[in-house]
Chain A
Amino acid sequence: MSLLKIENLHAEVGGKEILKGIDLEMGAGEVHAIMGPNGSGKSTLSYVLAGRDGYDVTEGSVTFQGKNLLELEADERANEGLFLAFQYPVEIPGVAGMTFLRESYNAKLRYRGEPEADAMQFLKMVRAKAKTLNMNDDMLKRPVNVGFSGGEKKRNEILQMAVLEPSLAILDETDSGLDIDALKLVSDGVNALRSEGRSMLIITHYQRLLNHIQPDYVHVLAHGRIQRSGGKELALELEANGYADFAEEAA
């Protein structure tokens, strides 16, 4: 059974149709990459899947782990195991990173009807995971994303993903704003999280990220539709030829 199945998905933002019939199927443990030019609907797709207000689905269906995803609220989708690593992580002043992690982790446990985590054990678990991402205790004490550099914000997203252990992680341009070292660190973090039970949808402009995180499938999104799908060699082809081909195909 597929983990995520998107069929003929149409969605609009502020009355303007952005997604015009997306079909995509992901199996458990698979890594898919979505590439496409600016304004092709990549971020819209990630927001629609995560359930953001103002992104209205007009047609089509999305099935996630056998459930109708579109019927669920954003927090229910998260607790079902869908995680979105934000392109622009949001600042939450005054809320320590650790507190935020604990709140989200416990929300997930409550959703499953399990007792909340023991504070000390949780602290240990988070510290161990933070260490692999080269994040120290100081970063966990600072308010969420406030005054973080671009690289720190993205690392923080990956840490949240490591702690929440989603079954589907959508990484929305996780490579944007990262220097070469930070890109490697973040990619290593993501690679460490690859497993049979975890699928990933990687949204990016550049092939660069896919050198570090090797996808099983690559899709090209342009003009609100998936124009082509293929293996990872498709990404290389795009790098050489650009997106120009697809602009013509659609026109």
Chain B
Amino acid sequence: MAITNNAQQADTGTKMIHLGKNTRSTIISKGISAGRADNTYRGLVKVMPKAEGARNFTQCDSLLIGDKCGAHTVPYIESRNPSARVEHEATTSKISDDQLFYCMQRGLSAEDAVGVIVNGFCKEVMKNLPMEFAVEAQKLIGISLEGSVG
């Protein structure tokens, strides 16, 4: 998970190297950009010659808040074994005015509304975190996005 706000530029990523036979990996990346920030994700997936039947699945979702921010996804795939299966999926979505208004009509402040929507967006990652950490992460999201709306 990576969050950028205001004028931040983040260029982050992951490396996954498959060495052994039938190894599997899943990468889920959630990038959130707000303000005038740009968020870049680079994901290297490398399959070595001996990694017969290796599989990787990469899912890379970006969420934009406002219309001045950006998200970029750059997959790097190096396969040295013809039996490897490497998948990469990317999506980009935006918090819509409809969603914000809907939440606010139910009584949430604009900031809380963004917090709820962003937490929903990150759910696949959050649900795998240990309980204590997930609570912290949720609060951290709220703090990182302060001032991103309104």
- A111 to chain B: closest CB distance in Å? 7
Task: List CB contacts (< 8 Å) of B5-32 with chain A.
Answer: none
Q: Which residues of B contact A54 (CB under 8 A)?
A: 97
Q: Is B133 positioned at the interface, with any CB of A under 8 Å from its CB?
A: no
Binds A, one of B49-57, B72-80, B81-89, B104-112: B104-112
Do A89 and B102 have beta carbons less than 8 Å apart? yes
Q: Is B123 positioned at the interface, with any CB of A under 8 Å from its CB?
A: yes
Do A100 and B107 have beta carbons less than 8 Å apart? no
User: Which residue numbers of B lie inside 8 Å of A, CB to CB?
Assistant: 96-99, 101-110, 112-113, 116-117, 119-124
- B128 to chain A: closest CB distance in Å? 13
Do B108 and A107 have beta carbons less than 8 Å apart? yes
Grouping DSSP codes into helix (H, G, I), strand (E, B) and loop, the B interface class, with mixed when no group exceeds half, is helix
Interface size on A, residues (CB 8 A): 31
Q: Contacting B120 at CB < 8 Å: which of A52, A94, A164? A: A94
Q: How far is the CA of A73 from the CA of B110 in the complex (A)?
A: 10
8 nearest A-B residue pairs (beta carbon): A94-B120, A95-B120, A104-B106, A94-B123, A107-B107, A90-B102, A74-B104, A78-B107
Q: How far is the CA of A50 from the CA of B105 in the complex (A)?
A: 7
Do B102 and A92 have beta carbons less than 8 Å apart? yes
- A210 to chain B: closest CB distance in Å? 24
Q: How far is the CA of A228 from the CA of B140 in the complex (A)?
A: 54
Q: Contacting B116 at CB < 8 Å: which of A79, A86, A90, A103? A: A103
Q: How far is the CA of A108 from the CA of B112 in the complex (A)?
A: 13
Q: Which residues of B contact A138 (CB under 8 A)?
A: none
Q: Which residues of A contact B102 (CB under 8 A)?
A: 86, 89-90, 92
Q: How far is the CA of A40 from the CA of B112 in the complex (A)?
A: 34
Do A92 and B108 have beta carbons less than 8 Å apart? no
Q: How far is the CA of A191 from the CA of B72 in the complex (A)?
A: 50
- B42 to chain A: closest CB distance in Å? 25
